[in-house]
């Protein structure tokens, strides 16, 4: 797959006298048809990273290329679209006029058939004559997606697109992102909404204090070395006795006769399975433990493990 | 490239046209132009009365023209940045100068349309009251175009400052200084302090001399405006405009959004 974005150690410093680092040596790549999430708390530098790539803010050091052209040249923005967070749309334009304005700015002088096609695709054709200020946030976002699509954007930057959207709007946007991916359009999306990113992203990078502290494919990120073992015993007493003899292992008594163990060590796993079988218990489940993106996010940022309870639960 | 500038200019003009502030301005100007009839009662002859109305009317138009340029010029780009609509445009493969120039042209168009409306009201009132059609108004309109073009470009440049107060202060200061440029230079010469004279000379070359565009005294005395003078003033305005637009585009290109 073609690399659309390549950023190498881009850094942003601000301030005249006392320099403050907003983005610190961030490197990332984004391929065609890939959805990448930038996840991080407020002030992590996600939006500034996007702005640097889009040429809206200068890069203090490091370099970036988009579509092979160096940032911030105009050539690097051919085929790029950006949907900023909390954009306040012009109050004098209707949905149709807004999309037409951007179509014309993009050089589409006779773009009416395309405008209709894309407004229909995002479900805004019926509302084309409504003033943007009269539209809901979800409708305005759909109009913006049409604005991006009409200029045949191959790479779309979305900054906190899910904030302020109701559940229906979020589902609609997720579906739209998946449909963009099917069209081989790459998307870089900034968000705090880890749960939503997990549903749509191929890769996620977690940012904090200007740095990418973790980044990989979602599958690899959520994978852990831990294994969950669930055993079902003949009665409560057997379960309690078995667990009491292995109190050093992370465990939890589930219901009356079921015990759940979480193990890091493969040797301990083998021994535990043998012991369970020897105790005439049923091995109900042996599965690798995966994290949710929310759990990974909390773990990475706070060092606190919210997924597994250690010792007695 | 130019079509994008034209599109942005037209969009800016449409946006400005919806500003309630302009309506308020126009209503206020109508009231002011109506009230100046009162001043006519103090004059002794109809000719003097006609001149007084012309004089006060042109002063009001100048003042309101400047206020319109100041309010629109200082907010048009700033609002787009704050509303983040500028991001949608600047992420297109286009230069920032195109947006900047389009904003300037749209703002200037709005200011000129407003000034023309105000001039039209003045000419209409004079015609209704005296039955005389003021034929020299096109010179006033032309010189006001020069003046407001420079003012608009100056305000737009200062609007790139982070603070609106800084933008307002600098704009008003430079417009006042530009209107008094010759007086200030004369005072500096009279003071006989070489360093002061040198400093004032430097300022004189930096600040546009709006005195060149003030032809009110000539109009009121029915002096003819020669085309060569108009050409010279136009050239002077074009030079300043070019400098201000290049400086503004450069500053806007360097600005972190």
pLDDT in tens, A244-277: 888 777 777 777 788 888 888 878 888 888 888 8
Please say whether the beta carbons of B97 and B253 come within 8 A. yes
Q: What are phi and psi of A222, to 5 degrees?
A: -85, -10
Mean pLDDT value across residues B83-96: 88
Contact B257 A57 (CB under 8 A): yes
In this predicted structure, what is the pLDDT of residue B113? Answer: 86
Q: Does A149 reside within a domain? A: yes
User: Alpha-carbon torsion B99, B100, B102, B106, what sign?
Assistant: positive
Chain B partners within 8 Å of A105 (Cβ) = 4, 7-8, 89, 92, 94
Q: Find tokens 């881009």 and name the residue.
A: A10
Determine the distance in angstroms separating the CA of B255 from the nearest CA of chain A, rounded to an integer: 7
Distance CA B185, CA B189 (A): 6
Residue A246 DSSP SS3: coil
In this predicted structure, what is the pLDDT of residue B25? Answer: 66
H/E stretch holding B105: helix B96-130
A172 and A184 fall within a common domain: yes
Angle subtended by helix axes B46-83 and B96-130, to nearest 10: 160
Q: Which one of B11, B87, B257 has the shortest CB-CB distance to A101?
A: B11
Q: Does A156 reside within a domain? A: yes
User: Any idea what DSSP says for residue A133?
Assistant: G
Q: Does A312 reside within a domain? A: no
Q: Does A215 reside within a domain? A: yes
Instruction: Count how many residues are written for chain B.
Output: 257
Determine the distance in angstroms separating the CA of B252 from the nearest CA of chain A, rounded to an integer: 11
Distance CA A190, CA A207 (A): 10
Chain B partners within 8 Å of A74 (Cβ) = 93-95
Please say whether the beta carbons of A44 and A210 come within 8 A. yes
Distance CA A239, CA A228 (A): 17
Chain B partners within 8 Å of A145 (Cβ) = none
Chain A partners within 8 Å of B85 (Cβ) = 87-90
Distance of CA A117 to the CA centre of its chain: 29
Contact B84 A88 (CB under 8 A): yes
Q: Does A311 reside within a domain? A: no
| Half-sphere exposure (Cβ direction) of B143: Cα atoms closer than 13 Å | 25
Full residue range of the structural domain in which residue A62 is found? 3-220
B105 has a pLDDT exceeding 90: yes
A73 and A180 fall within a common domain: yes
The ipTM estimated for the assembled molecules is 0.78
In this predicted structure, what is the pLDDT of residue A37? Answer: 92
Mean pLDDT value across residues A129-147: 87
User: Any idea what DSSP says for residue A131?
Assistant: B
- Measuring CA to CA, which residue among A124, A47, A33, A117 is closest to residue A83? A47
A245 and A203 fall within a common domain: no
Residue B28 DSSP SS3: helix
Average pLDDT value over all residues in chain A: 85
For B213, the token pair is 């565009």
Determine the distance in angstroms separating the CA of A209 from the nearest CA of chain B, rounded to an integer: 20
Candidates A100, A105, A150, partner chain B, best to mutate (most B CBs within 10 A): A105
Contact A87 B92 (CB under 8 A): no
Chain A partners within 8 Å of B12 (Cβ) = none
A123 and A78 fall within a common domain: yes
A231 and A85 fall within a common domain: no
Q: Which one of A74, A87, A90 has the shortest CB-CB distance to B94?
A: A74
In this predicted structure, what is the pLDDT of residue B1? Answer: 67
Long-range pairs, A222-225, Cβ under 8 A, ≥24: A222/A198, A222/A290, A222/A291, A222/A292, A222/A293, A222/A296, A223/A288, A223/A290, A224/A288, A224/A289, A224/A290, A224/A291, A225/A264
A25 and A120 fall within a common domain: yes
From the CB of residue A99, how many other CB atoms can be counted at a distance below 10 Å?
27
In this predicted structure, what is the pLDDT of residue B93? Answer: 87
The CATH number given to whatever domain includes residue A175 is: 3.40.50.300
- Cβ contacts below 8 Å, chain A against chain B, sum to 75
Residue A191 DSSP SS3: strand
The CATH number given to whatever domain includes residue A262 is: 3.30.70.100
Determine the distance in angstroms separating the CA of A13 from the nearest CA of chain B, rounded to an integer: 11
Mean pLDDT value across residues A49-71: 92
A150 and A248 fall within a common domain: no
For B93, the token pair is 């493969």
pLDDT digits (tens, 9 = 90+) for B145-173: 999 999 999 999 999 998 899 999 999 99
Give the angle A252-A258-A262 at the CA atoms, nearest 5°.
40
Q: Which one of B4, B83, B87 has the shortest CB-CB distance to A56?
A: B87
A167 and A263 fall within a common domain: no
B12 has a pLDDT exceeding 50: yes
pLDDT digits (tens, 9 = 90+) for B52-87: 788 888 888 888 888 888 988 898 899 888 888 899
Chain A partners within 8 Å of B82 (Cβ) = 88
At residue A313 the predicted structure's pLDDT band, cuts being 50, 70 and 90, is very low
Paired strand residues for B65? none
In this predicted structure, what is the pLDDT of residue A304? Answer: 62
Distance CA B158, CA B74 (A): 7
Paired strand residues for A252? A260
Determine the distance in angstroms separating the CA of A106 from the nearest CA of chain B, rounded to an integer: 7
- A113 CB-contact burial (10 Å; exposed 0-12 / middle 13-18 / buried 19+): exposed
A17 and A139 fall within a common domain: yes
Q: Rounded to whole angstroms, what are the CA distances from A229 to A260, A272, A307?
A: 6, 9, 15
Count of domains in chain A?
Answer: 2
Candidates B2, B92, B101, partner chain A, best to mutate (most A CBs within 10 A): B92
In this predicted structure, what is the pLDDT of residue B21? Answer: 59
pLDDT digits (tens, 9 = 90+) for A173-224: 888 888 888 888 999 999 888 888 888 899 999 998 899 988 888 888 887 7
Mean pLDDT value across residues A78-88: 86
For B231, the token pair is 């050409």
In this predicted structure, what is the pLDDT of residue A310? Answer: 37
Candidates B93, B94, B96, partner chain A, best to mutate (most A CBs within 10 A): B93
Q: What are phi and psi of A35, to 5 degrees?
A: -110, 120
Distance of CA A278 to the CA centre of its chain: 45
Q: Does A170 reside within a domain? A: yes
Paired strand residues for A228? A262, A287
At residue B33 the predicted structure's pLDDT band, cuts being 50, 70 and 90, is low
In this predicted structure, what is the pLDDT of residue B98? Answer: 93
Distance CA A43, CA A23 (A): 10
At residue B20 the predicted structure's pLDDT band, cuts being 50, 70 and 90, is low
Least confident range from A95-104, A127-136, B161-170, B214-223: namely B214-223
Contact A90 B91 (CB under 8 A): no
Q: Does A274 reside within a domain? A: yes
Nearest chain A residue to B95, by CA: A74
Distance of CA A60 to the CA centre of its chain: 26
B238 has a pLDDT exceeding 90: yes
Chain B partners within 8 Å of A89 (Cβ) = 83, 85
A187 and A239 fall within a common domain: no
A73 and A120 fall within a common domain: yes
Nearest chain B residue to A58, by CA: B256
In this predicted structure, what is the pLDDT of residue A262? Answer: 84
Q: Does A211 reside within a domain? A: yes
Mean pLDDT value across residues B15-24: 71
A245 and A208 fall within a common domain: no
User: Any idea what DSSP says for residue B223?
Assistant: P
Domain boundary at A204, A220, A236, which?
A: A220
DSSP states along B32-91: HHHHTHHHHTT-SSHHHHHHHHHHHHHHHHHHHHHHHHHHHHHHHHHHHHHHTHHHHHHT
Residues of B contacting chain A (CB within 8 angstroms): 3-4, 7-8, 11, 14-15, 18, 82-85, 87-95, 254, 256-257
Domain boundary at A201, A220, A239, which?
A: A220
Contact B92 A56 (CB under 8 A): no
Determine the distance in angstroms separating the CA of A204 from the nearest CA of chain B, rounded to an integer: 24
B228 has a pLDDT exceeding 60: yes
């Amino acid at each position: 797959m073609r690399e659309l974005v390549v950023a190498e150690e881009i850094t942003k410093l601000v301030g005249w006298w006392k320099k403050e680092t907003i983005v610190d040596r961030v490197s990332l790549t984004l391929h065609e048809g890939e959805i990448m999430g930038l996840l991080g708390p407020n002030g992590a530098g996600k939006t500034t990273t996007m702005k640097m790539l889009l040429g809206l803010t200068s890069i203090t050091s490091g370099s970036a290329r988009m579509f092979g052209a160096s940032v911030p040249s105009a050539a690097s923005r051919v085929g790029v679209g950006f949907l900023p967070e909390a954009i306040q749309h012009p109050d004098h334009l209707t949905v149709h006029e807004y999309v037409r304005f951007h179509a014309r700015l993009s050089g589409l002088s006779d773009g009416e058939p395309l405008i209709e096609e894309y407004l229909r695709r995002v479900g805004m054709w019926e509302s084309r004559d409504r003033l943007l200020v009269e539209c809901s946030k979800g409708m305005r976002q759909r109009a913006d997606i049409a604005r991006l699509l009409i200029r045949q954007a191959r790479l779309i930057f979305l900054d906190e697109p899910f904030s302020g959207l109701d559940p229906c709007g979020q589902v609609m946007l997720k579906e739209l992102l998946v449909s963009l991916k099917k069209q081989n359009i790459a998307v870089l999306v900034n968000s705090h909404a880890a749960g939503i990113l997990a549903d749509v992203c191929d890769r996620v990078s977690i940012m904090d204090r200007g740095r990418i502290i973790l980044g990989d494919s979602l599958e690899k990120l959520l994978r852990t070395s831990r294994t969950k073992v669930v055993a079902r015993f003949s009665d409560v007493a057997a379960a309690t006795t078995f667990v009491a003899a292995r109190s050093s292992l992370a465990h939890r008594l589930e219901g009356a006769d079921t015990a759940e163990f979480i193990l890091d060590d493969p040797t301990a796993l083998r021994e535990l399975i043998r012991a369970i079988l020897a105790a005439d218990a049923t091995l109900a489940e042996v599965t690798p433990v995966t994290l949710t993106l929310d759990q990974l996010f909390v773990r990475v940022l706070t060092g606190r493990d919210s997924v597994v309870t250690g010792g007695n639960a | 490239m130019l079509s994008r500038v034209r599109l942005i200019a037209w969009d800016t003009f449409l946006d400005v046209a919806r500003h309630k502030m302009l309506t308020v301005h126009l209503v206020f100007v109508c009231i002011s132009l109506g009230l100046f009839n009162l001043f006519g009662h103090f004059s002794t002859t109809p000719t003097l009365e006609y001149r007084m109305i012309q004089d006060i009317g042109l002063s009001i138009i100048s003042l309101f023209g400047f206020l319109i340029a100041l309010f629109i010029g200082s907010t048009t780009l700033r609002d787009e940045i704050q509303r983040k609509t500028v991001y949608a445009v600047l992420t297109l493969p286009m230069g920032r100068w195109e947006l900047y120039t389009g904003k300037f042209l749209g703002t200037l168009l709005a200011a000129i349309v407003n000034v023309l409306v105000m001039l039209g009201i003045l000419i209409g009132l004079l015609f209704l009251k005296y039955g005389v059609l003021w034929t020299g108004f096109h010179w006033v309109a032309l010189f006001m175009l020069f003046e407001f073009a420079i003012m608009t470009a100056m305000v737009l440049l200062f609007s790139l400052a982070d603070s609106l107060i800084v933008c307002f202060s600098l704009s008003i200061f430079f417009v006042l200084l530009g209107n008094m440029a010759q007086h200030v230079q004369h005072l500096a010469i009279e003071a006989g302090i070489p360093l002061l004279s040198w400093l004032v000379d430097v300022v004189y070359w930096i600040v546009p001399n709006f005195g060149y565009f003030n032809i009110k005294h000539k109009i009121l005395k029915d002096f003819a405006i020669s085309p060569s003078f108009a050409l010279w003033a136009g050239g002077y305005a074009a030079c300043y405009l070019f400098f201000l637009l290049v400086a503004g585009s450069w500053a806007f290109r360097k600005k972190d959004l």
